[in-house]
Structure 1
């Protein structure tokens, strides 16, 4: 299960970074503390609709645009849940070389789904850790560790 707050945080961070703006600049413009904005971007805090609107205004984006992007990513991630995945990534007991090979193999077998605008790849690194890579056409990708439902 992908957490909504993490996908929202990824979308906000991607927009801020694409504008080459700092957390301080956006937090000042949005009238939110730098630490709280950082927690929102990392998916550790749930932002209210009023706060999301303020952050979007500071980024020069429409709230509906950001939510549409989040919705697209969530829809693809939900579709990914039904696709079987490869072996978990290497354990800490493996050597550095073996771990690198296992991680590369797991990444190569990670299922990927795209709708033309958003591409999502999911790699299960263990029973409670999954790496979600969402790429929007024309933007850099962002890895996120997400908590899976057990």
Structure 2
């Protein structure tokens, strides 16, 4: 089963790390405890819509952008053969599309762990001569 909180956490972490920012910096800007933000990023806690909006604002992102990334990741995971159905044995699958990589580990017939990674956007550097 794909956990939405895990995919959201992966998207938030990728944004933060892409900006080379620490948990402390983002937690302070979003007015959320560092420990709670860490749990959200690891998919251990569900963020309320208000908290998610505050974290997105602290990251300089629109909520719709982050949720769009989450939606793209879920779509890619759903398209992987047999990811969302029970299986008899442990399996590990990886899919890539553009900047998104989704890894699914089937741990038991009804438990799968989805891990999504997204390449950070490349910054264009312009040098003046």
Root-mean-square deviation (CA, aligned residues, Å) is 2.4
Q: Could you tell me how far apart the structure 2 residues matched to 1:134 and 1:31 are?
A: 26
1:66 alignment counterpart: 66
Give ranges in structure 1 of 5+ residues lacking alignment: 89-105, 141-150
TM-score (norm 2): 0.76
After TM superposition, list the pairs within 5 Å mapping 1:26-45 onto structure 2: 26-45=26-45
Go from structure 1 to structure 2 and tell me whether the alpha carbon gap of 1:67 and 1:20 turns closer, same or farther (over 3 Å shift): same
Alpha-carbon contact 1:80-1:122 (below 8 Å) kept: no
Count how many residue pairs are aligned between Structure 1 and Structure 2: 118
SS of corresponding position for 1:120 = strand
For the pair 1:122 / 2:104, whether they are aligned, the reply is yes
- Look up the SS of the partner of 1:46 in the other structure: coil
Distance 1:2 1:34, change over 3 A: same
Gaps in structure 2 of 5+ consecutive residues:
122-129
How far does the alpha carbon of each residue in 1:55-85 deviate from its partner, in whole angstroms, 9 at most, with x for none? 0000001100000000011111122253698
The equivalences for 1:80-91 within 5 A come to: 80=80, 82=82, 88=90
Contact 2:6 2:115 in 1 (8 A): no
What secondary structure sits across from 2:29 in the alignment?
A: helix
CA distance in 1, matches of 2:57, 2:80: 32
Q: Tell me the residue number matched to 2:120.
A: 139
Cα-to-partner distance string for 1:76-103 (whole Å, 9 max, x where unaligned): 1122253698x63xxxxxxxxxxxxxxx
